[in-house]
Structures are given as structure tokens and as C-alpha cells.
Chain A
Amino acid sequence: MSEAILETKGLAAGYGKKRAVFGVDLSLAKGEKLLILGHNGAGKTTLLRAIFGLIEPMAGSVMLEGRDITGRTPAANVADGVAFVPQGHGIFKSLTVRDNLELGAFAENDKGKLPERLETVHDLFPILKERASQVAGTFSGGQQQMLAIGMALMHGPRVLILDEPSIGLAPNLVERVMEAIATINEKLGASILMVEQNVQLSLPLADRVMVIKTGVTVYEGSPEPLRDHVELMKLF
């Protein structure tokens, strides 16, 4: 693996005075797929939101390609090639699929790039082309997740951060979404930072795994040792 594209050092974050993440060191290499596992309430979502600037970190730093981006606004991060797919289908439910995808590229100044990106998204998820005029809230959970990922791609991200993309989806749809994420990584070259609870279906995708428990990293390394203990991992 080459040098880190995204790094955190001693990152701590939470809501109000309550900390949920305690000094997490994380390093995502260029082109890597890093999977963060952990049980409910382990601080995974808080960690991602602090990295992306949706909440102000309480301590520590976030670096993008060696530059300090700690506490920078999401707008600045999006413009700099970091995209975030929040938990629970990050879409605008009252707007059409077309409007959603267009809004995905809101912060893009070079509108000339958009037709090509739209084509990429349509190739990846043909349903988004077929149902462009449909109101997104009428989509099924799986389709909404595809749209959410499609929106994140409209900005041509170098780093794609996903918060539990499998949540609420049937297993066959989870596989479909995981395949798409692998394709985004291979074909579009985006580095992937993904949080998951579905160990079984997300583990095959990962180059490397971090396990977080109550806001602290308890395992970091190859997914191999965990593969034999998927059942055990469910206890997390």
C-alpha cells in the first residue's frame, strides 16, 4: 500500500459533553478499503461524523494527504474530494432521483464533468436512469441506498466514507451494494472508509479491518484472522 490519503491522530469526539470516541488513530492508504467494525453505540458513526466535519472533534487531528483538515466544514471536505454516505439512506426523499443526483454535485464548480459522472453512476446503478423522474422517497430501501451512493459519486470523490450501507437491507441487496462499493474502489480509484455491523457480508470486501469498542480501537489489521471467527465477531 502507498502513503495515507486520510489519517486521524488521537481523534476524540462526542455530543455535548459526552464523549463517544476516545483518541482513535486511523490511517487509510490510497486505494485501500478500510472496514471499521463495532457493536451498536461503539462510536463508529461519531468517528465518521467527526472526520467529515459534521461534528467538531474534541481532541486530535484529521489529515487529508498530509494536510490538517480538522474541524473543516463538510462543504470544504466535499469540494476537496471527500464524500460521505450517512447511515439510513442519505437522500432527499421529497425530490426526484434526477434532482438528488444533481444535488450530489452541488459543490462541484466544473459542471462540464457532470454528464460523464452521471453516466458512471447510471452504469453502476441502471435503475437510477430508468426511474430518474421518480420521487426518491417512494424507492425501496435498497434503491435508496444505491441513490445515496450515486449522489456521493457525483462529486468524483477520492475518499468515500460510508456509514453502515447495509443497514435495513435484505442480504441479496447488501451483496449488490458491496459489489458496487468494490467497483467504485477498483474502477474509480476511490479509497473506501466504511463502518459496518454486518460482519459476514462486509468482511470479504475489506483490505484491512479496525474493530472499535466503546470508542477505543481494540483490533487493527488484516481481515484474515477475523474471517475464521465471524460467529465470534457477532458478539461485538
Chain B
Amino acid sequence: MDLLLQLFVNGVINGSHYALLGIGFGLIFATTRIVHFAYGPIFTFAAYIAWWLSGAMGLPIWLGLLGAVAAAVTIGLLSYLALYRPLELNRAPPLVPLIASLGLYIVLENLTGVIFGSGVRVVDVDYGIFFVGPVFFTSIHVWQVGSFVILGLGLAAFLRYSRYGKAILAMTDDPDMARVIGIDTFRITLLVFAIGSLVSAVPATLILVKNGASTHMGFAAVFMGFVAVIVGGVGSLRGAAAGGFVVGLVESLGLWKIPTEWQASIAFIVLYLVIMLKPEGLFSMARR
């Protein structure tokens, strides 16, 4: 029973991480229909910037986080302006940005290795260890869950109540109609690339503190974000967040009966089952 409780808490912690990635990746995907796989290496690059600032230069970790956010937003915006935007203007079919995104993925990942070296980079941050009854967790875990709560609620409030948030919802629903009512869809696209990239920098910095940064860690990040979006239902951020928790919990609770070497496959199995049984996603609202 104690084990199950610990696995549940681990699931919530990992679920928060996946949910944030799902929200960030899903916001860009739902609004622009761009499958932004380069989200992965942007996540990685942000983690390395945080390492460079607080690990190599010795600045406090919150400054590392700020640097990571700035770097992720800059590269996110540049990837849209330099890569996806010209394709859009040339009316390229949807497969072209997808392939371009994979190309950008490889370029960014290699660039990160060239700039920072390919070894694992760690930062030395003091963190607390807590025992609540039989359950163990650290202050980094608390931050992982806390950052999801803060960013998730903040983003939900922004979408619900602000003028630009509503414009994002409108564009997610129908981009053509958004233009008809006078929404500048170019600006909204820049906005979602900025917000989505900003969101990625937070879990990136926390993973750096927790496990260290490696150049290939972007794959797991974008893959889990992608799975969260598909499992939750494309077009709904609440769905992407819920999808992240489903994957996190199933992955963790699965360890109760499944050997650990299978853990990495669990997300694939969840994805497969959802695509087969409920392709619109577990939490999609009935639309159209």
C-alpha cells in the first residue's frame, strides 16, 4: 500500500511535468496547426542556458530560469519567423512544415551540443527532502507540481478573460473566421509561440536541477507533450493537461506490476490505446 501511494505521488509529479509540456506544445499546435517538433530541442537549449548561467557562471537558479525563458522565447519566435512563416506565405501543404520542424529539431539539437558540449550538465542547488507518512518527495518535486498549478491557472485565466486570450481561442476554433472579425492572426501566432516556448523553459530548468541536462533530452519532452495532447484531445488545453496526468499516473502506477525496463514503453501503449479506442482524445469536448 505504501508503495502504491508513493507511485501515485510520483505519477502526479511526473504528470505535472508532462502536463506543462502538453500545454506548451498543445497551445502552439491547436492555434497554428503546426506540429512544432523543434519544441524538444528548444526545451533542451533552455535547460543548457539555465545551466550556463547558474551552473557555470554561478548565478542564482532563478536567474538561470529567467535566462532559459528568454532563450526559449527567442528561439521559439525565430523558428516561426524564419522557418514556418515563409512556408505559410508560400502556401506549403501541411506535411512541409512538419518535415521542416524535424529538420530544425536536428539542427537545434546539434547546435546545443556544439555550443555546450555533449556531456551531461548538472547544477548544484540545495533542495529539501520531505517525508509525509510513508511518502517521500523533494522541494524540486514541489516546484514541478507548483509550476504546473501556477502556469496552468495563469494561462487558463489569460485565455478566459483577456482580449488576446480570447483571440487565441477564436483562432484555435477557426483561423479563417478569426481573420474575418479582424484578428491579426500573424500576431496571435507570434504570441502563442512566445507563450508555448516560455512554458517549456520552466520544466526544462526543473529537470536540469533534478536530473541534469543532456543534449538528447528534448525528444522525451516533445514526445510526452505530443502524447499528452493526443491523449487529452487536440484543441483543448485542459485536455492536454489532463492527458499529461494520465500518462504520468499510468506510467508510474504501472511500475507496481510491470518491470521497470518497460516504463518507457507505457506512454506508447497509452497513446496506442487512445488512438485506437477514442481517437478524438479522452477529454475532448464534443465539437462540430
Contacts and interface: CB of A to CB of B under 8 A. Distances in A.
A59 to B, nearest CB: 19
Interface string A83-99: 01010001111110001
A143 B253 CA distance: 48
B176 A86 contact: yes
A94 to B, nearest CB: 5
Interface string B173-217: 110110111111000000000000000000000000000000000
A23 to B, nearest CB: 24
B233 to A, nearest CB: 12
Contacts of B106: none
A104 interface: yes
A137 B235 CA distance: 15
Contacts of A16: 91
Given A95-B169, A103-B166, A75 B179 contact: yes
B151 interface: no
Interface in A65-88: 73-75, 77-79, 84, 86
A107 interface: yes
A201 interface: no
A102 B181 CA distance: 10
A110 B17 CA distance: 42
B163 A106 contact: yes
A92 B179 contact: no
B288 interface: yes
Interface string A34-49: 0000000000000000
A230 interface: no
A74 B179 contact: yes
Interface residues of B, number: 21
B167 interface: yes
A208 B288 CA distance: 37
A75 B183 contact: yes
B149 interface: no
Contacts of A92: 169-170, 173-174, 177
Interface residues of A, number: 26
A210 B161 CA distance: 44
Interface in B100-149: none
Interface string B246-288: 0000000000000000000000000000000000000001011
B193 to A, nearest CB: 19
Contact of A78 (B163, B181, B285): B181
A155 B182 contact: yes
Interface string B87-98: 000010000000
A91 B167 CA distance: 13
Nearest to B172: A94
B170 to A, nearest CB: 5
A73 B184 contact: yes
A24 to B, nearest CB: 21
A54 B180 contact: yes
A151 B287 CA distance: 20
A130 to B, nearest CB: 22
A107 B181 contact: yes
A71 B183 CA distance: 16
* Most interface-central of B91, B167, B174 (chain A CB within 10 A): B174
A30 to B, nearest CB: 22
A94 B287 contact: yes
A86 B177 contact: yes
Nearest to A15: B91
A95 B184 contact: no
Given A54-B176, A93-B174, A94-B173, A74 B285 contact: no
Interface of A: 16, 52, 54, 73-75, 77-79, 84, 86, 90-95, 99, 102-104, 106-107, 137, 151, 155
Interface of B: 91, 163, 166-167, 169-170, 172-174, 176-177, 179-184, 235, 285, 287-288
Cβ-closest 10 pairs across A and B: A78-B182, A107-B182, A92-B173, A75-B182, A74-B179, A94-B173, A75-B184, A94-B287, A103-B170, A106-B181
8 contacts: A73-B179, A92-B177, A93-B287, A94-B169, A102-B166, A103-B181, A106-B167, A106-B170
Given A74-B182, A75-B179, A78-B181, 13 more contacts: A52-B180, A73-B184, A74-B180, A75-B184, A91-B177, A92-B170, A93-B173, A94-B169, A95-B170, A106-B170, A107-B182, A107-B183, A155-B181
